[in-house]
Amino acid sequence: MNEKDIYKGIPCDKIPWIHETPPGILINLIESLAPPSSHLLDLGCGLGHYAAFFAQKGYKISGIDISNTAIKHAKQLFETKKLKGDFYEFDLCKLSDITLSPINLAYEFEVLHHVYPEYRELYVQNVCKLLAEGSYYLSICFSEKDKNFGGKGKYRKTPIGTELYFSSVKEIQDLMSQHFRILEIKEVELEGKTIPHQAVFCLMQKVKF
């Protein structure tokens, strides 16, 4: 897992995943499953741009990130835009006792590839604890079929110095199916800085087993 604060010391315009508007695949899914006023949980919320986009559409927003720098920025962004949202600096790869008001849909977009396999079971357990029965959970992370950052190997270094883990569909299915009902899992293409990214899309729902 990348434990250092990757937002600290790097100008925002140099961080490749920073976009003010969420991608269409995320907007369309959230709008189809969660009507405005639903409570959304942004896992790995970063600087808060996606959270702000959905808050402006009437959603109740909570965000979690391991980065103190990111959480401060997200809070400032919401204050500047006069939006309401709750943000928490928290590491979901460690034992967790955090509780939130009922969540309708949790999403993580290009986050799970920052979490190495040895931490993923605890991470998913903690996400599961935050969700009520019937809540949806969307995870989109880089696929091992992706051609970026050398295009081979499970672990790959990025130009900004982070090391990411690239997953297979089966890995994500095996991980998530222990805690959630998988509604849809597939390979998708995402916009990249130079070439598109191949990613694993996994939509789930928390149910009683």
Task: Give the pTM.
Answer: 0.91
Cα–Cα nearest to 39, from 109, 127, 132: 132
**In this predicted structure, what is the pLDDT of residue 4?**
58
Cβ-count burial of 45 within 10 angstroms (0-12 exposed, 13-18 middle, 19+ buried)?
buried
Q: Are 5 and 91 in contact (CB under 8 A)?
A: no
Pairwise pLDDT comparison (131 vs 193), residue with the higher score: 131
Across the chain, mean pLDDT equals 91
Residue ranges of domains in the chain, CATH in brackets: 37-150+163-192+200-205 (3.40.50.150)
**In this predicted structure, what is the pLDDT of residue 11?**
59
Looking at beta carbons, which pairs linking 83-88 to residues 24 or more positions away fall under 8 Å? 83/52, 83/55, 83/56, 84/55, 84/60, 85/48, 85/51, 85/52, 85/55, 85/61, 86/61, 86/62, 87/45, 87/48, 87/51, 87/62, 87/63, 88/62, 88/63, 88/64
**In this predicted structure, what is the pLDDT of residue 7?**
58
Q: Are 146 and 197 in contact (CB under 8 A)?
A: yes
Check whether 131 has a pLDDT greater than 70: yes
Length reported for the chain: 209
Cα–Cα nearest to 178, from 138, 142, 207: 207
Rounded to an integer, the average pLDDT of 19-35 is: 93
Q: What residue type is 130 in one-letter code?
A: L
Rounded to an integer, the average pLDDT of 72-95 is: 95
Check whether 45 has a pLDDT greater than 80: yes
**In this predicted structure, what is the pLDDT of residue 5?**
63
Rounded to an integer, the average pLDDT of 56-76 is: 96
**In this predicted structure, what is the pLDDT of residue 191?**
87
Check whether 10 has a pLDDT greater than 70: no
Query: How large a percentage of the chain has pLDDT more than 70?
Result: 91
Which pLDDT band holds residue 9 (cuts at 50, 70, 90)? low
**In this predicted structure, what is the pLDDT of residue 18?**
61
Separation of alpha carbons 4 and 2, rounded Å: 6
What is the per-residue pLDDT across 152-178, written as a single tens digit (0 to 9) for each? 899 999 887 889 999 999 999 999 999
